Amino acid sequence: MLILSGNNIAWLLARWTAGSEAAFVRRMNVAAADLGMTRTAFTGSCGMDVGNTSTASDLLALARTVMRNEVFREIVAIPSITLPEGRGEARTTNRLLGQYGVVGLKTGTSTPAGGNVLWAAYADVYGERRLVLGAVLAQRQGRSPVRARASVWSHSRRLVRAVQRAALDGSTGPHVPHPAPAPAST
């Protein structure tokens, strides 16, 4: 479910763990409230439910919690899986995985929601390896999923690279490039 964005698996797991999707959604909303996600409301167990709403800050609160779980971290870092019964290989929907220190999290794109990605990347900050979390949401909301995906990957890539540059130069604020040196006279 987390590697391939399997909404069908989300529905199955909801029914399996709570008896019904409605019962699972109630659990999701209680868990969100417990995490302080005050601007989040779930109406369905998967990302395709148009009634699900959240904010970047709420999703980052969720990310901080789930990334503390070693098994979860291992799963979202998997780039591909071998499908059962010789059906081939399936790759993650996270195009940033394995680039720029990105070690996972979750993607989701639909016409109503636009392109969305919650990412986790390691960066060296003052010689210490730190996990940095980010969210890019609602890219090209209401437009085609193809354009939404292109936009979310473009913006996410720039953001992750900026985080890495800021970490590398040791700054604590936004990265401000140094002016290029003047060309040498001949």
Cα separation, 40 vs 49, in Å, equals 13
- For β-strands 114-125 and 128-139, DSSP reports them as antiparallel
- What is the residue-level pLDDT of the chain in tens, covering all 186 positions? 777 777 888 899 999 999 999 999 999 999 999 999 999 999 999 878 888 999 999 999 999 999 999 999 999 999 999 989 999 998 998 999 999 999 999 988 888 888 899 999 999 878 889 999 999 998 887 788 888 888 988 999 999 999 888 876 655 544 434 333 333 433
Residues 24 and 77 in one domain: no
Q: Give the pLDDT confidence score for residue 9 in this predicted structure.
A: 86
Query: Could you tell me if 84 and 156 lie in one domain?
Result: yes
Residues 49 and 95 in one domain: no
Identify whether residues 151 and 72 lie together within a single domain.
yes
Q: Is 36 in the same domain as 99?
A: no
CATH code for position 171: 3.40.710.10
Helix (H) or strand (E) holding 61: helix 56-66
In the chain, DSSP assigns E strands to 80-82, 89-91, 102-110, 114-125, 128-139
pTM greater than 0.85: no
Range of the domain at 148: 55-176
* CA terminus-to-terminus distance, the chain: 61
Q: Does one domain contain both 46 and 69?
A: no
CB atoms within 10 A of CB 80: 13
